[in-house]
Structure 1
């Protein structure tokens, strides 16, 4: 489920989830709220500035894999300014990662209640829906983000929409969205991976291989990319390459779902 503007413009890169340690959300919330007497002394401008700062800190901690501190910072932001939509949207992503899906949904809904037109919030919520079994519902939120003229990173929503279209087998729409992303970012490895996946699903294994070769050249492949490459080479009958990719998958990602699928022979 990398290019990380995790809180504001989440890219969808397969198996790019950071290693996260679950922490009870209620515990985090109880431990970090500033004293009421401090809140009562700040001006509205100070409230916004401080909430924004803590949200940005939370996003950075999240990007670096420190979920506990990320939750603390985001909860501080919300305690300072309960009407700061970006803090809820960012915390929703963090809560998703620790599988607190109900709490994440509440945070996203609160963010949308506060700022329904914000393209970053719509993109983040669409990503959340796409990764919680509501792929068809997610598309509308990506489209809302894309249509917002002030959205500074529409390529992000195009990429996420394309990946979600691919999940539900809408390969033509997926291809169109991903190629739009590549017009903004020609060498984006996430988009190239998605093109490889689309080509694989269409049975165009040579094209899939070419896209994956670019992915390997531009980035360190994760388990998902290696697994797709292995299956492509298997389809092409390149047994030596299959063996090499299998060894790499086993060495680097022995506990991954992809390697477990390999052990079970679940190639599709």
Structure 2
């Protein structure tokens, strides 16, 4: 492996660890896009623009506009980002990720009701879009939980909403309430991976290291390895003082990143 490539992968790993440390400390979630596509890859637009699609299905023009919208959002150029994301939605009116980003833009511009509506639109289109639930929870909950909202949610969104409620409780330090919401999410949909990811964080905050490890492994069984999940595993291994846990997630991280 070339030294430059190795350096990039190691630096990426360091960034992941910093992000997960911030999450465990109760800071706002840092969005990490693991599946950002290359704008150089030729794409063919789906014939039906009303089809609910993923980011990888965008045509070249929409993909470029979506990436530019994210870039503008990151630099707080909200108006420029808004213009780009509207171009994406004009072509793909049922692209869930675009509504999630639009919600972030509206939130940045102080339009809280519009932000909330766009986050809801995103997870109603894609009930597995964990990022949209997380963003919605920051707006919708204030000192309490979202269990009431979740209970009245549409069938396939309920597990995500109960998980969002758990995130709300987690930010408020109400760990028993968070775990109760997560248990409900698990009962509704035992294959909703994000619930296990949040459960691993909650149990880590209560020093239940074996429980946190089990929850994280359940997440991996459903969603596979991600940068965020392996970063969490490394953080749990260090904080628990367990050499076995640290070694386990270090090996998995090396495998995932291709570092020998």
Q: Which residue number corresponds to residue 10 of structure 1?
A: none
What's the counterpart of residue 17 of structure 1? 33
Q: Please state how far the C-alpha of 1:63 moved relative to its aligned partner.
A: 6.5
The Cα shift of 1:252 comes to: 4.0
Q: What are the ranges of 5 or more consecutive residues in structure 1 without an aligned counterpart?
A: 1-12, 24-52, 79-85, 255-268
TM-score (norm 1): 0.52
Of 205, 210, 213, the match for 1:209 = 213
Please give the TM-score of this superposition, normalised by the length of structure 2: 0.54
Supply the distance in 1 between the matched residues of 2:111 and 2:56 (Cα, whole angstroms).
22
- Superposition deviation, residue 214 in structure 1: 2.3
Aligned-pair distance for 1:105? 6.3
Q: Which of 69, 74, 77 pairs up with 2:89?
A: 74
Task: Find the counterpart in structure 2 of residue 263 from structure 1.
Answer: none
Aligned pair 1:237/2:241, yes or no? yes
Deviation at 1:75, TM superposition (A): 2.5
Number of aligned pairs?
Answer: 196
CA change 1:232–1:240 in 2 (3 A) is same
* Structure 1 pair 239–151 and aligned structure 2 pair: CA distance change class (3 A): closer
**Where do residues 1-268 of structure 1 align in structure 2 (5 Å cutoff)?**
17-20=33-36, 54-56=49-51, 59-62=52-55, 67-68=63-64, 71=85, 72-76=87-91, 91-95=98-102, 100-102=105-107, 106=111, 109=114, 112=117, 120=124, 127-130=134-137, 134=139, 136-137=141-142, 143-144=148-149, 146-148=151-153, 151-249=155-253, 252=256
Residues 237 and 138 from structure 1, CA distance in 2 versus in 1: closer, same or farther, beyond 3 angstroms? Answer: closer
Q: Mark the runs of 5 or more structure 2 residues left unpaired by the alignment.
A: 1-28, 40-47, 67-84
Equivalent in the alignment of 2:76: none
Q: Which protein is bigger by CA-based radius of gyration?
A: 1
Looking at structure 2, the residues matched to 152 and 236 of structure 1 have their Cα atoms a distance apart, in angstroms, of 35
RMSD (Å), alpha carbons: 4.7
